[in-house]
Amino acid sequence: MTLGYRWKNAQDVASALAGSRSSAERERWPRERLKSFQHERLSALVEHATSHSAFYRDLYGGRLSRSDVRLEQLPAVTKSMMMDHLDEFVTSPRLHCSALEQHLQQVGASDELFLDEYRVMASGGSSGRKGIYVYDRSAWRGFLDGALRWSRMMGLTPRLPRRRRLAQIAAPDVKHMTCRGAASMSVGLFLPLRLSATQPIDELVSKLNEQQPDALTGYPSVLDLLATEQLEGRLRIAPAIVSTTSEVRTEQMTERMRKAWGREPFNCLGLTETGITATDCSEHCGLHIYEDRCIFEVVDENGRPVAPGQPGHKVLITNLYNWSQPFIRFEITDLVSVSEDPCACGRTFARIIALEGRSDDILEMRREGGGTVKVHPIHLRSPLAAVAAVSQYQIEQTDSGLDVTLALSRGAAENEVRSAVERTLHDRLCELGAVRPTIRVKVVPGIAREEGAGKFKLIKAARPHAAA
């Protein structure tokens, strides 16, 4: 990397560090003050967006002043809407979809800036359509602030003279936010070991045994495999902190991590639209939403707010610090329940108490009697979780049914597991009203992550008819 990049990045990390005290104070504000703070930030964001983004000006019917902003009156925005009008969506005339696409094709493993100012990332999501996401340096400092808060809430703070060893297993290239964030944070606060989620498991084990990390973080699908390696004696590490991010983490994965390392693993909700969005504290009673950085609305299928503690059909997310590419009431298809009840840690941020969906696809299947039924991933994961002998699985929808790939625990009776999986999946889908599909079960030694992949999907929809 160039000296200019290193200087800019160091400045941005230093700025985030300097603002960490103010961030910590906001975590304990009364909720009335927090709501007022959100509205002030939202009003300024909307005024800026309607002044500099033709997309938002057209969507809202003209420019809005701060005094005119009412959150509930703003229409929701989808990824398709954004990508269909990306040149008009962004607020800088320097940003063009074609140039951003070209930059993404050329960027490699380094934290390279576009036009010496912007970080450009990509995400697939449940629709299968790529999204392009842009953070200028000011917005990136907001992301770094969230990353530092995440570390602090886990108890992972810098120590001198002995720097703590941090192993992070992330996406293999900087098109993905997990890898980009790890690259940007490598400024000497910790002794980092950056590993790729696509590396063979024996290679990960070897490098971790060599480093002996104080903290281990990564995708749940990878840490679950590493927990098995630890329990079977090939991995021999004793991290004081374990944390997962970006994917579904089932209770079975969590229990394996507890057994392997004797720690309650932390969890993190990271979204490319808002960066580090919610994390749990030492109480492990839900993920605190960073409400000073975003507005997180849980709504039903018609966009109406749901009652606290009740699951919604989707989430409308508003990033309060990215003004180059404003995400205002942006739809995320996660099944989430949120509580505003006080947490024993003293933080007043609302907490996500149930989180489903994440990177998995929602399947669209034929309904008995005609029409279609949407099958949320939770309806497929729960039956498989009940089959104790299944250590790893992946379900892929095809035009003719469901292909189920399984990796089994040692000593499992393969034929019995096949029958149990077929029976439980058929029963659940019939309960939902779906036409009984053809289910093909294949048992393999292990399920490899696709080369170049970011998140690992447990449930994959058929293409090109994936339901968003």
| 118 and 167 belong to one structural domain | yes
pTM above 0.85, yes or no: no
The pLDDT of 313-325, averaged and rounded, is 96
| 248 and 369 belong to one structural domain | no
Q: Is residue 465 part of a domain?
A: no
Q: What is the pLDDT of residue 447?
A: 81
The pLDDT of 382-408, averaged and rounded, is 82
CATH number of the domain to which 249 belongs:
3.40.50.12780
Q: Is residue 204 part of a domain?
A: yes
Higher pLDDT, 28 or 456: 28
The pLDDT of 224-228, averaged and rounded, is 91
Q: Is residue 93 part of a domain?
A: yes
pLDDT in tens, 23-40: 999 999 999 999 999 999
The pLDDT of 444-450, averaged and rounded, is 77
The pLDDT of 37-44, averaged and rounded, is 98
Q: Is residue 350 part of a domain?
A: yes
The pLDDT of 230-234, averaged and rounded, is 95
Does the pLDDT value for residue 453 go beyond 60? no
What average pLDDT is seen over the chain? Answer: 88
Q: Confidence band (pLDDT; 50, 70, 90) for 211?
A: very high
Q: Confidence band (pLDDT; 50, 70, 90) for 378?
A: low
Q: What is the pLDDT of residue 128?
A: 46
**Tokens at 220, concatenated:** 């749940």
Does the pLDDT value for residue 126 go beyond 50? no
| 245 and 201 belong to one structural domain | yes
| 373 and 276 belong to one structural domain | no
Q: Confidence band (pLDDT; 50, 70, 90) for 468?
A: very low
Q: Which of 319, 336, 358 is the last residue of a domain?
A: 358
| 352 and 368 belong to one structural domain | no
Rg, Å, the chain Cα set: 22
C-alpha span between 271 and 288 (Å, rounded): 14
Higher pLDDT, 452 or 389: 389
Does the pLDDT value for residue 455 go beyond 70? no
Q: Which of 335, 358, 381 is the last residue of a domain?
A: 358
| 205 and 249 belong to one structural domain | yes
| 275 and 153 belong to one structural domain | yes
Q: Is residue 466 part of a domain?
A: no
C-alpha span between 436 and 430 (Å, rounded): 6
**Tokens at 65, concatenated:** 């002043």
Q: Confidence band (pLDDT; 50, 70, 90) for 408?
A: confident
Does the pLDDT value for residue 203 go beyond 80? yes
Does the pLDDT value for residue 41 go beyond 50? yes
Considering 92-106, 278-292, 297-311, 399-413, the range whose residues carry the highest mean pLDDT is 278-292
Q: Is residue 354 part of a domain?
A: yes
CATH number of the domain to which 415 belongs:
3.30.300.30
pLDDT in tens, 139-159: 999 999 999 999 999 999 888
pLDDT in tens, 234-287: 999 999 999 998 777 888 889 999 999 999 999 999 999 999 999 999 999 999
| 327 and 192 belong to one structural domain | yes
Does the pLDDT value for residue 465 go beyond 50? no
Alpha-carbon distance values, 464 to 82, 146, 236, 361 (Å): 20, 35, 43, 12
Q: Confidence band (pLDDT; 50, 70, 90) for 388?
A: low
| 422 and 352 belong to one structural domain | no
How would you list the strands of the sheet with 401-408, edge to edge? 438-443, 401-408, 390-398, 459-460
| 402 and 342 belong to one structural domain | no
Residue 451 structural domain: 363-460
Does the pLDDT value for residue 171 go beyond 80? no
| 381 and 242 belong to one structural domain | no
Q: What is the pLDDT of residue 321?
A: 97
C-alpha span between 455 and 205 (Å, rounded): 20
| 253 and 228 belong to one structural domain | yes
% of the chain residues with pLDDT over 90: 53
Q: Is residue 14 part of a domain?
A: yes
Considering 68-82, 169-183, 184-198, 350-364, the range whose residues carry the highest mean pLDDT is 68-82
Q: Which of 358, 377, 394 is the last residue of a domain?
A: 358
Q: How far is CA 133 from the centre of its chain?
A: 14
Q: Is residue 468 part of a domain?
A: no
Considering 10-14, 93-97, 200-204, 330-334, the range whose residues carry the highest mean pLDDT is 93-97
**How many domains in the chain?**
2
C-alpha span between 375 and 390 (Å, rounded): 21
C-alpha span between 216 and 150 (Å, rounded): 13
Alpha-carbon distance values, 380 to 4, 219, 386, 413 (Å): 49, 20, 11, 22
Angle between helices 3-18 and 177-184 (to 10 degrees): 90
Q: What is the pLDDT of residue 466?
A: 36
Does the pLDDT value for residue 462 go beyond 80? no
